[in-house]
A and B are shown apart, each in its own frame.
Chain A
Amino acid sequence: MKRLLPATIIAALFAVGWYHWPASPRPFTAADIAILESLTLASLPPLPPDPGNPVADDPRAAVFGHALFFDTRLSRNGGISCATCHQPERNFTDGLPKAQALGTSRRNTPSIVGTAYSPWQYWDGRRDSQWAQALSPLEDPNEHGSDRQTLVRLIAEDPDYAACYTGLFGELPDLQDAAGVDAAFANIGRVFAAYERLLMPGPAPFDEYVAAVVAGDTERQAELFSDDEVVGLQLFIGKANCTQCHNGPLLTNNEFHNTGVIAAPGELPDKGRVVGAREVLADPFNCAGAFGAGSPSACAELEFMRTGPELIGAFRTPSLRGVAETAPYMHTGQLPTLGEVVEHYNLAPLAMIGHNEAKPLKLRRGELRQLEAFLLTLSAPPAVDAKWLRAPARD
């Protein structure tokens, strides 16, 4: 028995070492390279149209939307702007588990970078365009806490804003004209969207690395990525199954998945998309509504939208572009670090409601660290002039 003890200790040490030891990179296959190319910004298609927003690509609207985005007067207490929660230096998130403005919101602040490509906005997709989304926080008592009449009056009384508005949309409505105020409110959303459409992710070290892989430039590859990052990437497109949902150049399929994220302590599980689907259908500012695209054929996403019990507890896949800047993670910021996120997917726990689509990955500790190292290569400032990332100067 005594003779067995040293052998057992050596075997245990070997097992622990193996569990923590990082894996080694392997050569990329042609199939790997095809997947890598599909994930880079070089494969990003042209910006899709924004149905129901005739000023989506009007530079004057983007300038106007930029000013409104940073203007705290668009809140009940004069202290909250969109940028309070969507902070440019944090990839347009706020670093908090749940958004804090006039009150505390139900969920974590999602980034708005690249969301012009998404048919759905918010974690639960309860809005179907950037412009319809921009309207909700303005009247939410926990966020801006304002109302559409007050906002239209603010624009009418600010000579610069009034000039911007009338230049784009014509005369401002009489404040007693409820339908006119609704239409002007929709226009406010449209100029926000014109600004937000400019916010696209910039090329990250990952994109440069893939270009080097495609070019067969091994020297450049070695300059850009460590072995750990290469293995992390190989796990990302391989046995970690990340690209099942985090696919395409924005590393999101913009769809809804239940991945068994446990509710925050003391909270009931969030039903997610199953409620968001009902809300987007009821939204008066949706694509098919009176202020929408004006043609049912332009609203195919809404027309063929799926709902039902399968979407209980499902949330929209967030883009992983700039993921290092958007902690804490998940719909109520339940997971403080990226390390905890990869650990969550490694375990794939049973869902509290609905069913977890993910399966346990059974990755070793060393591999999880490598996966995390790769995720840090996805950061880059948005691909716009820096002037759009700070409040505009006003005279």
Chain B
Amino acid sequence: MRRRFAWLSLCLCCLPAMAGTPADLPSSTSQRGLFTVSYESELEPLQINQLHAWVLHLENAQGEAVTGATIDVDGGMPEHDHGLATRPRVTAELGDGAYRLEGLRFHMRGDWELQLTIVAGGKTDSAVLKFTL
């Protein structure tokens, strides 16, 4: 029982760190350098043709979590000159700079881009997340 409590308290202690920007997640710095966005897919491994959600982690240039941001998302496959199959959007702010991005589905293999427009604290910047399926 004591061991179980030890695990539980360890997990609870880790929670704030997990909600921040884990260093091992893929990330991108915004065009003007105001923000860094990292992301993780709730569908693991990432696959084609499945509707799913991501969690975005947003930090400022000082590495602090950015809360209260609005993030608009668009994207597509530049090589094929077409956009996303869906219209994903941020549906919830999870706290400590984390945002839930729902409604993603990638319908082809190849190089994809998500273009993010981030507005926080009266400042606007854009970031591009690039990945290959």
Provided the pairs A300-B103, A357-B80 are in contact, do residues A306 and B48 lie with their beta carbons within 8 angstroms? Answer: no
Interface flag for B28 (CB, 8 Å): no
Closest B residue to A245 by CB, please name it.
B108
Interface flag for B86 (CB, 8 Å): yes
Q: Please tell me if the beta carbons of B102 and A305 are within 8 angstroms of each other in the complex.
A: no
Contacts of A104 in B (CB 8 A): none
Q: How far is the CA of A303 from the CA of B51 in the complex (A)?
A: 11
Work out how many contacts link A and B, with CB atoms closer than 8 A.
52
Contacts of A255 in B (CB 8 A): 85, 107
Contacts of B41 in A (CB 8 A): none
Contact with A along B35-55 (1 / 0, CB 8 A): 000000000000011010000
Q: Please tell me if the beta carbons of B89 and A304 are within 8 angstroms of each other in the complex.
A: yes
Contact with B along A245-269 (1 / 0, CB 8 A): 1011000011101000000000000
Contacts of B103 in A (CB 8 A): 300, 303-304
Contacts of B105 in A (CB 8 A): 304
Q: Please tell me if the beta carbons of A300 and B51 are within 8 angstroms of each other in the complex.
A: yes
Provided the pairs A248-B49, A357-B80 are in contact, do residues A304 and B110 lie with their beta carbons within 8 angstroms? Answer: no
Provided the pairs A248-B49, A357-B82 are in contact, do residues A253 and B87 lie with their beta carbons within 8 angstroms? Answer: no
Contact with A along B47-66 (1 / 0, CB 8 A): 01101000000000000000
How many Å from the CB of A44 to the closest CB on chain B? 12
Interface flag for B81 (CB, 8 Å): yes
Q: Please tell me if the beta carbons of B51 and A301 are within 8 angstroms of each other in the complex.
A: yes
Q: Please tell me if the beta carbons of B81 and A357 are within 8 angstroms of each other in the complex.
A: yes
Contact with B along A369-391 (1 / 0, CB 8 A): 00000000000000000000000
Interface flag for A310 (CB, 8 Å): yes
Interface flag for B69 (CB, 8 Å): no
Q: How far is the CA of A254 from the CA of B48 in the complex (A)?
A: 11
Interface flag for B128 (CB, 8 Å): no
Q: Please tell me if the beta carbons of A247 and B109 are within 8 angstroms of each other in the complex.
A: yes
Interface flag for B84 (CB, 8 Å): yes
Q: Please tell me if the beta carbons of A310 and B82 are within 8 angstroms of each other in the complex.
A: yes
Interface flag for B97 (CB, 8 Å): no
Name the residue among B48, B86, B89, B102 with the largest chain A CB count within 10 angstroms.
B86
How many Å from the CB of A343 to the closest CB on chain B? 21
Q: Please tell me if the beta carbons of A306 and B80 are within 8 angstroms of each other in the complex.
A: no
Contacts of A248 in B (CB 8 A): 48-49
Q: Please tell me if the beta carbons of A253 and B48 are within 8 angstroms of each other in the complex.
A: yes
Q: How large is the interface on B (under 10, 10 to 19, 20 to 34, 35 or more residues)?
A: 20 to 34
Interface flag for A244 (CB, 8 Å): yes
Q: Please tell me if the beta carbons of B49 and A304 are within 8 angstroms of each other in the complex.
A: no
Q: Please tell me if the beta carbons of B49 and A306 are within 8 angstroms of each other in the complex.
A: no
How many Å from the CB of A296 to the closest CB on chain B? 11
For the complex, would chain B's binding face be called helix, strand, loop or mixed by DSSP majority?
Answer: loop
Contacts of B83 in A (CB 8 A): 306, 310
Closest B residue to A303 by CB, please name it.
B103
Within 8 A of A (CB), among B96-119: 102-103, 105, 107-110
Contacts of B110 in A (CB 8 A): 244
Provided the pairs A300-B103, A304-B87 are in contact, do residues A247 and B51 lie with their beta carbons within 8 angstroms? Answer: no
Q: How far is the CA of A248 from the CA of B108 in the complex (A)?
A: 10
Q: Please tell me if the beta carbons of B48 and A244 are within 8 angstroms of each other in the complex.
A: no
Name the residue among B51, B85, B87, B88 with the largest chain A CB count within 10 angstroms.
B85
Q: Please tell me if the beta carbons of B87 and A244 are within 8 angstroms of each other in the complex.
A: no
Contacts of B108 in A (CB 8 A): 244-245, 247, 253
Q: Please tell me if the beta carbons of A247 and B86 are within 8 angstroms of each other in the complex.
A: no
Q: How far is the CA of A303 from the CA of B53 in the complex (A)?
A: 13
Q: Please tell me if the beta carbons of B86 and A244 are within 8 angstroms of each other in the complex.
A: no
Interface flag for A90 (CB, 8 Å): no
Contacts of A105 in B (CB 8 A): none
Provided the pairs A255-B107, A306-B83 are in contact, do residues A247 and B49 lie with their beta carbons within 8 angstroms? Answer: yes
Contacts of B82 in A (CB 8 A): 257, 310, 357
Contacts of A306 in B (CB 8 A): 83-87
Q: Please tell me if the beta carbons of B109 and A244 are within 8 angstroms of each other in the complex.
A: yes
Contact with B along A356-368 (1 / 0, CB 8 A): 0100000000000
How many Å from the CB of B108 to the closest CB on chain A? 5
Contacts of B80 in A (CB 8 A): 244, 357
Q: Please tell me if the beta carbons of B84 and A253 are within 8 angstroms of each other in the complex.
A: no
3 pairs of A and B residues whose beta carbons are closest in the complex = A304-B103, A253-B107, A255-B107
Query: Can you report 23 residue pairs joining A to B where beta carbons are below 8 Å apart?
Result: A244-B109, A247-B49, A247-B109, A253-B48, A253-B85, A253-B107, A254-B107, A255-B85, A300-B51, A300-B102, A300-B103, A304-B51, A304-B88, A304-B89, A304-B102, A305-B87, A306-B83, A306-B84, A306-B87, A310-B82, A310-B83, A357-B81, A357-B82
